[in-house]
Amino acid sequence: MTEWAVAVSVVYNTNTMYVNKPEDISLAEWREIMQVQEVKESWGLSDETPEEFAANVYAVKFDFVSGSPGYVGDLYIIQGDTLTGDAPFVLARRDGALHLLN
């Protein structure tokens, strides 16, 4: 195996070990999530702080890499504290801003 092939293999194996693990959501990211129109409307947000909002929802962030050509980047899944049967919100970046996918 050439040095290049070994390096690619190490990078690929290192990256794939962590790709599907959840990451913490920063306060700045919570603020950004709260600015998505559908999130504002669904939760009736007006003057809540990111800390208050975060305390009332279940949320996770992934550094998502599609298994086939497609999206690569931040992926957020947000679920309210009540199970209604509605799907959780899934947010991803498009043109530098978060957008609802579903």
Q: Is 89 exposed, middle or buried (0-12, 13-18, 19+ CB in 10 A)?
A: buried
Strands 57-65 and 72-80: antiparallel
Question: pLDDT, tens digit, for every residue of 15-24?
Answer: 555 468 899 9
What pTM did the predictor assign? 0.76
CA distance 27 to 84: 27
At 66 the pLDDT is 82
